[in-house]
Amino acid sequence: MKRKSIFTLLVLFFSMGTQVFAQDAIFIEDYLERMETSKAYLLLISESMPEDKYNFKAVPEAMSFAEHLMHIGWAMDWHSQSLMGGREARDWDTDTELKVDEKSKKEMVDAITTVFDKTIKFIENYDVTKLDEELDYFGAQRSKRQILLLLSDHITHHRAQMLVYMRLNGLKPPRYVLYQ
């Protein structure tokens, strides 16, 4: 009887672990779908803004349209590769790959495409058993799952400002795309 009880407990324990793993895998699958849609929508917005308006700022102290775009790329790289992946963060003062600098519209769109692809690939291959690990996020303890959600919020925040910039320039932004 004792063996049967131990066996039952082991089966329950392992099935619970499998269930949590499956939920984390579903979270990643859903998150990747959202990232792909977000990428497509941001690229559509980026392509819709004329290159001569990329330096537009709503007010002098704000980021330009181009700076919002490249800042999204910088944040995706930092959240995934550095914060979650452990790679040393890029040095803002010396690294120019994800900064506006003298980049053309095409170069910026290519850069944001590349960083989205790298981020998506990173998340596709991420060990879901690490999603509950916590780390310091600007003074707050956050799980890596929460970091992914914060990244999505950050993309949405800056993309929304880009949409407003289009309106301020008399342009009709692309229609909103659901689930991103």
pLDDT (0 to 100) of residue 163: 97
* Ranges of each domain in the chain: 27-168
Q: In which region does residue 159 sit, left (phi positive, over 0), alpha (psi from -120 to 50) or beta (all else)?
A: alpha
Structure tokens at 72: 């999204």
pLDDT in tens, 72-83: 999 999 999 999
The domain at 27-168 falls in which architecture? Up-down Bundle (1.20)
Q: Which of 45, 74, 5, 2 is nearest to 169 (CA)?
A: 45
| 16 has a pLDDT exceeding 90 | no
| 20 has a pLDDT exceeding 80 | no
pLDDT in tens, 122-133: 999 999 999 999
pLDDT in tens, 152-175: 999 999 999 999 999 999 999 999
pLDDT (0 to 100) of residue 178: 75
pLDDT (0 to 100) of residue 92: 83
Strand (E) positions, 1-149? 134-137, 140-143
pLDDT in tens, 87-97: 999 988 888 99
Read off the pLDDT of each residue in 118-122 and give the average, rounded to a whole number.
98
- Ranking 4-18, 53-67, 133-147 by mean pLDDT, the lowest is 4-18
pLDDT (0 to 100) of residue 93: 86
pLDDT (0 to 100) of residue 24: 87
Structure tokens at 83: 């914060």
